[in-house]
Structure 1
Amino acid sequence: MLSAKTTLLKSTPTLLSKRMQLRCFSHLPLTIPIKLPNGLEFEQPTGLFINNKNVPSKQGKTFEVINPSTEDEICHIYEGREDDVDIAVKAASDAFNNGSWSTIDPIYRGQALYKLAELIEKDKEIIASIESLDNGKAINSARGDVELVVNYLKSSAGMANKLDGRLIDSGSNYFNYTKREPLGVCGQIIPWNFPLLMWAWKIAPALITGNTVVLKTAESTPLSALYAAKYIPEAGIPPGVVNIVSGFGKIVGEAMTSHPLIKKIAFTGSTATGKHIYQNAAASLKKVTLELGGKSPNIIFADANLKKAVQNVITGIYYNSGEVCCAGSRVYVQESIYDELIEEIKAASEAVKVGDPFDETTFQGAQTSQMQLNKILKYVEIGKNEGAQLITGGERVGKKGYFVKPTIFGGVQEDMRIVKEEIFGPVVTISKFKTLDEVVQMANDSEYGLAAGIHTSNINTATKVADRLKAGTVWINTYNDFHCNVPFGGFNASGLGREMGTEALENYLQSKAVRCRLED
């Protein structure tokens, strides 16, 4: 993917050469058997997915995929290059232009998406296990991801009847109407923190609206998307409608964002890379949606249910090992309960089970890469040097695997880097506030605006604060609580456009107006 990780890869070639080595294995089988730590076995596709077939890359290059829990190699995957992007785009363009998908009755597109959801649902335990193996997340979190995938595909299937245009009255001498049409070939670049969920968030709205897709998986987590793609032909989706090119951002991502036949780019990843993509895409006037970084505030008022608030803080920052763009990484506690909450959150953090993702009692698995682990530990040192109080955590767990203790900083100043910058890991800062106005000002003092949390028993306080927060999603008395019909996306540096809900459809449609003069 094009992300903060990709940006770092450009500046650390020695690390790239050690852990993500490119090799020429033209003889690499297109599927390989893998036995999972829980005893399940499956055949992992290794090729690119083009025209409903698993194919090798043109140059035969491959790259290594690492298990972040053990640091061992899982397998090699074929690495796409610019010529592979051209082949995938041509397949997608041909599929769009022949009308086998773009012009059929939307109800049939809905039926195919629903069938895809059912096929994934039948295989959900293997798919969740692949996600845990490849990403390092706890198996229960991975199961939750697969459930969200299934529900979103089914929900998108039901949106086939949301694609209508409208009639416009301009007097009896004219017949005016609009129709909403697909854009064409859509390029989609997904991140490594929710590999399969982001795959679904991207392809579902594109497909139901009649578009075709060329998707780039994240280089560190390509396995689940390639595995799930095997169900696309079985679901009745024609060749060329969905194409997957695994590879690196600076090669595949760059080729996609500048390709003349790609009409729209959807990206999830870092704000810095999102800006770069936006500039690249602007040269050919592509439509662009960006779901970017965050530094989300999580606000606890004195009248909140404190037990539930503490649990929502834990879910807000340690879920998915803290590798969540909307993580509640800035906690604000009303001063009358600050000391009590600090102790409660500390105790709850230290009770979080960190370790083997396939252990059913694990809540926080591994960070996805050595690079991400190093980044988190670097920010711990930055926090200490800035004078923040390390309340708990801040250390690596064990010597094998990319594990880190849940970490809390108190005594922070709002201008500290650990408060301002996205760490993307299980690190939270806790600040105190007095008044509603004060906390709103503190919460909004950020370049980001992806999400926020409010904890209070007073509905007036909740709605008043929600209205004033500059965030695309506001959770009240909950956190990291997603539903397939509720749109998700950010304000400010957190992005453009929305995922999920009917709002997601607008990203993949364009309106055509037809004005017909009637004879007198």
Structure 2
Amino acid sequence: MNIIAQERPAFLTTGPKKMLIDGRWVEAASGKTFETVNPSTGEAIATIAEGEREDVDRAVAAARKAFDEGPWRKFKPHDRQEILLKLADLVDRNFEEFALIDALEMGEPITRRKNARRRVLGLIRYYAGMATALHGETVENSMPGGDFTSYTLREPVGVVGAIVPWNGPMVSWIWKLGPVLATGCTAVYKPSEEASLSALRLGELLCETGIPDGVVNIVPGFGHAAGAALAEHPGVDKIAFTGSVETGQKILMASAGNLKRVTLELGGKSPDIVFADADMELAVPGAAMACFGNTGQVCSAGTRLIVEQSVYDEFNERLADFSKTLKVGNSLDAETQIGPLVSKKQLDRVSGYLDLGRSEGARVLSGGERLSDPDRANGYFIPPTVFRDVKPEMRIAREEIFGPVVSTMPFTDMEEVARRANDTHFGLGSGVWTRDVSKAHYLAKNIRAGSVWINCYQMMDPAMPFGGYKMSGYGRESGTAQFDDYLNVKAVWIRTA
């Protein structure tokens, strides 16, 4: 193996990690801690304070005070923009450390850091630009009996509770942090217990930007305790959640107490459609990485691969051959393309679906078994797996696996493939591979999903919205539409004559 980094980042050498509340790094009120594990080796890498309800109460009180009474209220859009630009510079300066932290804690191959850097910095700077671009409007009204001036104000919604997943720690964090700082909200963040370290390191950098105490608070812990307390807290005005459908439903019910505003970016079982006229040199690796990228731990992964019947056998063969060329290994290895799954729990979940696929009658063309050779004996490795002859009713074709497992199915005509694409409770991502612009436009219009990628997959840009239809949730990340959920609109009427 060609291990890129032999030393632990400095952040991991300074003892147990605390939580950030009201500008101070503090231990959990209970004194509890938990360990986070390197999924490439199964070894513990850090001890982290375990937040619970009392810690959430303290953090919400700090965020509430910072929003209602603190100096943050007096920050102008330019001032908030300066905070974000300073943060971007600090993240840029320390990005190699962030890449190493995420590689160690959640198994993202460190070789992906160049693209990750561009995306993270692009998001922060986009939000910095938006801080000075948010405004209300003057509205021409038709009221009789006098002269009335009418206009709208867009004001921050208040305290935001952000619950962030483990599968993309940095991007998920910035997706929630950016609109909070741009609009003037305050926040309490609950990172995933399986990937808390980059959030805590980012908190350290935030403290260097000049942001007032209490504007951003970070409470690591488990969903059933810290996450549940945040979701139901009466001092929280909005919840922004990314994660599973089941947890999203619980959050929605918990929010009813004070009718919190809620945005949910949930799961997916995205269709990826390949026509016979597609450029196979583009479509084969594109469709493969649409599913296998980040070890399949992507909510919008193209896991239902629907291929035109006339090229179904050829495409499956080429897909399986390509998947076998992908290097699976330690996330710090310079040659690794597919890292480990994030945890033993996730390994067991995905392994269960491999067994289920076989029992349902699907045929394995590549992968299909846990890798347990000497180099990977203690890690959580599943190779890219291709199932063919999958029926639409099979569970591997309907349930989100969240691993490097693709299910291929044939189709024969346009109406059939559109119907098959939409035959799911989800609606997050989708892909189409064709040279025919008519087919592309037809499916772009008829697929019920928040993103349609044509002759590409997983393209992301700060200016483009990302989010779901149906049980994939509602609300958007990125783009101008995201800010609607962090702002209240106030109507102002003035009688002038």
Q: TM-score, normalised by structure 2?
A: 0.95
Of the three residues 235, 238, 259, the one matched with 1:285 is 259
The answer for the alignment partner of 1:516 in structure 2 is: 494
Structure 1 position 259 matched with structure 2 position 233 = yes
2:454 is the alignment partner of 1:486: no
Q: Name the structure 1 match of 2:218.
A: 244
Residue pair 1:141, 1:320 contacting (<8 A) in 2 also: no
Matched, 1:86 2:61: no
CA offset at residue 195 of structure 1? 1.2
Query: What is aligned with 2:20?
Result: 49
Amino acid at match of 1:85: V
- In the alignment, the residues of structure 2 paired with residue 41 and residue 112 of structure 1 have an alpha-carbon distance, to the nearest angstrom, of 25
| Cα distance, 1:323 vs structure 2 | 0.3
State the match for 2:89 in structure 1. Answer: 118
Residue 389 of structure 1, CA deviation: 0.8
In structure 2, what is the equivalent of residue 155 of structure 1?
126
- Give the corresponding residue for 1:217: 191
1:101 deviation in Å? 2.2
Letter in 2 for 1:515: W
8 A contact 1:40–1:126 mirrored in 2: no
Structure-2 separation of matches of 1:203 and 1:127: 16
Structure 1 match to 2:314: 340
Q: Which runs of 5+ in 1 are unaligned?
A: 1-34
Q: Which residue of 2 aligns with 1:138?
A: 109
Matched, 1:61 2:61: no
Partner SS state of residue 101, structure 1: helix
Q: Does structure 1 retain, via aligned residues, the 8 Å contact 2:234–2:257?
A: no
Which string of whole-angstrom CA distances, capped at 9 and with x for unpartnered residues, describes residues 280-318 of structure 1?
A: 102210000000000000011111111110111121011
Residue of structure 2 equivalent to 1:463: 441
What's the CA shift for 1:106? 0.9
Separation in 1 of the partners of 2:204 and 2:74?
24
Out of 328, 347, 369, the position equivalent to 2:302 is 328
Q: Is the 8 A contact 2:106 2:166 kept in 1?
A: yes
Match in the other structure for 2:380: 402
% identical equivalent positions:
43
Structure 2 alignment gaps of length 5 or more: none
Aligned-pair distance for 1:467?
0.4
Tell me the SS of whatever aligns to 1:457: coil
Aligned to 2:47: 76
Q: Does 1:194 align with 2:162?
A: no
CA distance in 2, matches of 1:41, 1:284: 42
Deviation at 1:386, TM superposition (A): 0.6
Q: 1:41: Cα distance to partner?
A: 3.2
Deviations 1:299-357 (A, max 9, x none): 11111111110111121011101000000000011111111111110000011110011
From the superposition, tell whether residues 54 and 425 of structure 1 become closer, same or farther in structure 2 (CA, over 3 Å).
Answer: same
Hey, what's the Cα distance between the residues in 2 that align with 1:301 and 1:397? 33
Q: Which amino acid aligns with 1:93?
A: R
2:284 is the counterpart of 1:310: yes
The more displaced of 316-325 and 105-114 is 105-114
State the Cα distance separating 1:456 from its structure 2 match: 0.8
The 2-side partners of 1:121 and 1:72 are apart by: 29
Deviating above 6 A after TM superposition, structure 1's stretches of 4 or more consecutive aligned residues are none
The AA in structure 1 aligned to 2:9 is E
Of 392-401 and 402-411, the range deviating more from structure 2: 392-401
Q: Of residues 180, 185, 198 in structure 1, which corresponds to 2:159?
A: 185
Residue-pair matches, total: 485
CA contact (8 A) 1:138 1:365 kept: yes
Distance in 2 (CA, whole Å) between partners of 1:142 and 1:292 is 25
Q: Which amino acid aligns with 1:38?
A: Q
1:479 to partner: Cα distance: 0.7
- Per the alignment, residue 352 of structure 1 pairs with 326
Give the match's secondary structure for 1:473: coil
Give 1:380 deviation, angstroms. 0.7
Looking at structure 1, the residues matched to 172 and 243 of structure 2 have their Cα atoms a distance apart, in angstroms, of 11
CA contact (8 A) 1:315 1:480 kept: no
| Cα distance, 1:253 vs structure 2 | 0.8
2:47 is matched by which residue type in structure 1? H
1:28 aligned partner: none
Deviations 1:464-519 (A, max 9, x none): 11100000001111111111111000000000100001111111001000111123
Question: What SS class does the counterpart of residue 490 from structure 1 fall into?
Answer: coil
Q: Which residue of 2 aligns with 1:268?
A: 242
Deviations 1:144-189 (A, max 9, x none): 3343221100001000233110111225610111000001110000
Give the equivalent residue in structure 1 for 2:335: 361
CA shift, 1:53, in A, is 2.2
Are positions 1:499 and 2:477 aligned together?
Answer: yes
Counterpart pick for 1:417 among 390, 395, 403: 395
Structure-2 separation of matches of 1:346 and 1:36: 29
* Separation (CA, whole Å) in 2 of partners of 1:405 and 1:213: 39
Q: 1:467 & 1:360 partners in 2: Cα distance?
A: 41
- Stretch of structure 1 that moved more, 50-59 or 76-85: 50-59
Matching residue of 2:357: 383
Q: Any conservation in 1 of the 2:166–2:195 contact (CA below 8 Å)?
A: yes
- Whether contact under 8 Å (2:4, 2:333) holds in the other structure is no
Alignment partner of 1:451: what SS? coil
